[in-house]
A and B are shown apart, each in its own frame.
Chain A
Amino acid sequence: MKFKEHVLMELKAEIVARNKARRLLVKRRLLAGAAVAGIAAAAAVAVPFLNGAGTPAYAVTKNTDGTITLKINEFRDPAQVEKDLAALGLTADVSYVKPGTRCAPDRGPTDAGPSFSKEELSSKDPEVRKRMREAIENSPNGKAFRMGHGEVRINPQYIKPGQTAVMEFTENEDQTSGPEKPRALWQFGGYLVTGPVKPCKIVDDPSWSKMPDPRTNPEAYPPPGS
């Protein structure tokens, strides 16, 4: 049947397009300073957070070591989050975007971050993953943003005057979670922009749906709350 040949041609073109896009995307993800964490797929370099029952919409805390903890529970009122962070002396730009979308990557000058080969990105070797994690953590964006325990920890020590802490959260429309149904509730990208920050222009993010299925790939999902 002819349509099968058409479909094949479309898909081969798609593979070529994706190979190009993947190189760009991987760079963008790493540039976003997202940590590698316990996620199997290279495409999912950005960290999905798992969250339990609902508590306040968000919490901003100043820690004794000078870092600021931002814990988001509900995706509303990003302007208030920015104000609360400003009260702690941090210039921030917070965006909440819908699943399957993201902010267009060119929001202002930022550090390109470390780059990795395809082999490194798909490697399961703990040594390689550790090395990648350290490279990301030691990059300017990685030092400014740390993730874990469902929180973002921002370190103003690594943010120079004139830089804005740009944070993009992708929310999942299904906000329910639990031990029997762990799933990615949100995804985070944080990076520093020097000078004015362009507003978030929403574009499609085909990689969102690339999260492995939690039923067939439980190993790709850290336990809820981690």
Chain B
Amino acid sequence: MRRRQANIATDPEAFEAFYRRHVDAITWFLARRVDDPHTVADLVAEVFVAVLDSAHTYRPGLGSEIAWLYGVARNTLSAERRRAFKETKLADRVGGRRPLDSDDVAQLEERIDAESVARRAFQAMAGLPDGDRAMLELVGIDQLTISEAAVALGIRQGAARARLHRARRALRNVPGIAPFVMEGMR
């Protein structure tokens, strides 16, 4: 099992299969959170660089690939936000701006537009405590199951349920967010 995962970080073919399986989900995940096409494209690259860095942390017994990957994506995104804050520079080979052609930009913008409702929901959630908000994001917006979200956040299922419950209760009366608060129950 470990072997199979280790391959993703060292075997280009295995990595390609993994990448093709998940690149759309990750692009959409990022488009829900970032409204600039170039940043989305750069972050897609960064998330998969982080996959190379942390492939050894994946434990198949603990949950689905996508749950683990969303955890990696969340960490990448928050690292990126810290970095943007500090205005430090990327040192990685794969890092840095890549040129997008007009088709790419158009398609990414389309996706970003499609996710605008989700971005508004994020704003409504901004006042929640970090942990509670993270649960509601992953379950209500990213459509993970509770146990997948628990894996993505590295917490126990019981704690995940409690956080989700608190977040939903706090937001149940906020207009426009109700669908995200109540849906995604699986």
Interface residues of A (CB under 8 A from B): 1-4, 6-8, 10-12, 14-19, 22, 40-42, 100, 122, 204, 206, 209-210, 212-213, 215-217
A16 and B15 CA atoms in complex are apart in Å by 11
The one of B75, B93, B100 that contacts A3, using a Cβ cutoff of 8 Å: B100
Interface residues of B in 40-67 (CB under 8 A from A): 41, 44-45, 48-49, 52-54, 56-57
Q: For the complex, what is the distance from the CA of A7 to the CA of B104, rounded to whole Å?
A: 12
A216: nearest residue on chain B (CB-CB)? B154
Q: Which residues of B contact A22 (CB under 8 A)?
A: 10
Measured between alpha carbons, how far is A15 from B12 in the docked complex, in Å?
A: 6
| B interface with A by C-beta (< 8 Å) | 2, 6, 9-12, 15-16, 19-20, 23, 27, 41, 44-45, 48-49, 52-54, 56-57, 71, 75, 91-94, 98, 100-101, 103-104, 107-108, 154
Residues on A with beta carbons closer than 8 Å to the beta carbon of B20: 8
Looking across the interface, which residue of chain A has its beta carbon closest to that of B71? Answer: A216
Could you tell me if B12 and A16 are in contact, using CB atoms closer than 8 angstroms? yes
Q: Is the interface of A mostly helix, strand, loop or mixed?
A: helix
Q: Are B19 and A8 in contact (CB under 8 A)?
A: yes
Contact (Cβ within 8 A) B9 A15: yes
From A11, A19, A210, B48 is in contact (CB under 8 Å) with A11
Smallest CB separation, B130 vs chain A (Å): 12
Set A3, A11, A15, A217: member contacting B41, Cβ < 8 A:
A3
Closest residue of chain A to B101 (Cβ to Cβ) is A2
Q: What residues of chain A lie closer than 8 Å to B92, measured between beta carbons?
A: 206
Task: Give the shortest distance, in Å, between B17 (CB) and chain A (any CB).
Answer: 11
Determine the chain A residues whose CB is within 8 A of the CB of B98 once the complex forms: 3, 6-7, 10
Q: Within the complex, what minimum Cβ distance (angstroms) separates B8 from chain A?
A: 9
Query: Is the pair A1, B94 in contact by a Cβ cutoff of 8 Å?
Result: no
Q: Residues of B contacting A14 with CB < 8 Å?
A: 49, 52, 93-94
Chain B contacts for A4, CB-based, 8 A: 23, 27, 44
A and B contact pairs by CB, cutoff 8 A, 6 listed:
A1-B27, A3-B41, A7-B94, A10-B98, A18-B9, A212-B57
Tell me whether A41 and B56 are in contact in the complex, defined as CB-CB below 8 angstroms, given that A4-B44, A7-B44, A17-B93 are known contacts.
yes
- Give bound CA distance, A212 to B57, whole Å: 7
Contact status B104-A2, CB under 8 Å? yes
Report whether B91 and A204 are in contact in the complex, using a CB–CB cutoff of 8 Å. Answer: yes
Q: Beyond A7-B41, A210-B53, is A100–B91 a contact (Cβ under 8 Å)?
A: yes
Q: Is the CB of A40 within 8 A of B56?
A: yes
Assess A11 versus B19: contact at CB under 8 Å? Given A41-B56, A100-B91. Answer: yes
- Apart from A1-B108, A216-B71, 6 more pairs, CB < 8 Å: A11-B45, A15-B15, A18-B9, A122-B6, A206-B92, A212-B56
Chain A residues with CB under 8 Å of B44's CB are: 3-4, 7
Shortest distance from the beta carbon of B43 to any chain A beta carbon, whole Å:
10
Tell whether, in the assembled complex, residue A217 and residue B57 are in contact, meaning their CB atoms are under 8 Å apart. yes
Alpha-carbon separation in the docked complex, A56 to B100 (Å): 53
Shortest Cβ distance from A218 into B: residue: B154
What is the bound-complex CA distance between A204 and B103, given in angstroms?
35
Which single member of B12, B48, B57, B103 contacts A216 (CB below 8 Å)?
Answer: B57
